[in-house]
Structure 1
């Protein structure tokens, strides 16, 4: 009875951390670290607004489209883990592929946005506000490239096991495969939330 009670007792925070998969821990630490970096840069950006003579920058309208694309991609990717658990591999592949395509659209919109900023005379060295705009969006773009590349790799792996019933059966019973989709989903959602925080800050304060 005592042993049964011990198993049913709620784990402490440190016990949960000890049992957490290293990759999951790395993702959490990465998200926390990235959040702190972006928070520091955003704080510096807000402080710099009081020290600039003019902070009026026209945010490219294409960033609206990129925001829609990354939000839509998060909704499409969200059920990926459920599809894998239900062995709905065709639906899973469709979700991953659409997310990948929307991600390409998001990246294309970012490039157009930077081109429009440059054409309007806003350069990295033009003023402090413009510098923060470039640095923050570029840093987000760097995070996006890493996660989007992992998404492409996972699509390739998923497509590979879907053609082999034995590999598919092994993957479906392997907790590490479930972890892959969990890490991807959380990282992608983080990118979406982070982008919305950035773009709303730019729209409101520039």
Structure 2
């Protein structure tokens, strides 16, 4: 029996029955809440540090905006894959899942190109706090995207290697992956809007 299909704690199981929320989803939301607080703290620190002076002004790399489109499309394809899974259209499910994974890789590659663009603008790491904040925020976000890619990779692997059956355990795994991926998507949109408004 997989960890998904087991209960973590009798009290949490009782709570999830009352709230109709699976314990693992509850843990996921708690974890995502802590990530929200971390990024809010980072962006708040950005505002405070900018107000204290010695701040280099520069343009956000255009590629970061392209990246926003890439990650939004990846969320849409993953959501469509989930819909196909529920309809048991397994060919469509596998194809959309693979597209989502490849778009996730494209996001990380484009993010790396954005960092190169920053360096080409004369904003390398450890030169000015304004650039350092951009690197720190975008690197930290990219690290969480890589975590999501690991989960997506396992999901793609299982979809292509094992016979796909719609079971509650598999649906839950897919839902957890999708929730996390939508989160990193929304988080990036927040970050890119925040950084754009600070220019």
TM-score (norm 1): 0.84
Tell me the CA shift for residue 127 of structure 1: 1.6
Q: Which residue in 2 is equivalent to 1:69?
A: 70
Whole-angstrom distance in 2 between the partners of 1:192 and 1:137? 13
Whole-angstrom distance in 2 between the partners of 1:52 and 1:142? 29
The alpha-carbon distance between structure 1 residues 160 and 75, as it changes in their structure 2 partners (threshold 3 A), is same
Whole-angstrom distance in 1 between the partners of 2:187 and 2:56? 22
Quick check: 1:183 aligned with 2:152?
no
Whole-angstrom distance in 1 between the partners of 2:192 and 2:20? 37
Whole-angstrom distance in 1 between the partners of 2:197 and 2:170? 41
Tell me the CA shift for residue 19 of structure 1: 6.0
Whole-angstrom distance in 2 between the partners of 1:70 and 1:123? 25
- Residues 55 and 129, structure 2, Cα contact 8 Å, conserved in 1: no
Quick check: 1:201 aligned with 2:199?
no
Q: Which residue in 2 is equivalent to 1:35?
A: 36
Q: Deviations over 1:107-144 (max 9, x none)?
A: 11100010111122212211221111111101101100
Gaps of 5+ in 2: 1-13
Whole-angstrom distance in 2 between the partners of 1:185 and 1:109? 22
- Which secondary structure does the structure 1 equivalent of 2:162 belong to? helix
Q: Deviations over 1:174-206 (max 9, x none)?
A: 311110111111111111110011111111103
- Which secondary structure does the structure 1 equivalent of 2:58 belong to? coil
Q: Which residue in 2 is equivalent to 1:90?
A: 91
Whole-angstrom distance in 2 between the partners of 1:15 and 1:183? 15
Whole-angstrom distance in 2 between the partners of 1:26 and 1:14? 12
Quick check: 1:54 aligned with 2:79?
no
Quick check: 1:114 aligned with 2:115?
yes
- Which secondary structure does the structure 2 equivalent of 1:78 belong to? helix
Whole-angstrom distance in 2 between the partners of 1:14 and 1:55? 50
Whole-angstrom distance in 1 between the partners of 2:185 and 2:20? 28
* CA radius of gyration, larger in: 1
Q: Deviations over 1:71-102 (max 9, x none)?
A: 11111111222211211111111111111111
Give the alignment's Cα RMSD to 1 decimal: 1.9
- Residues 80 and 181, structure 1, Cα contact 8 Å, conserved in 2: no
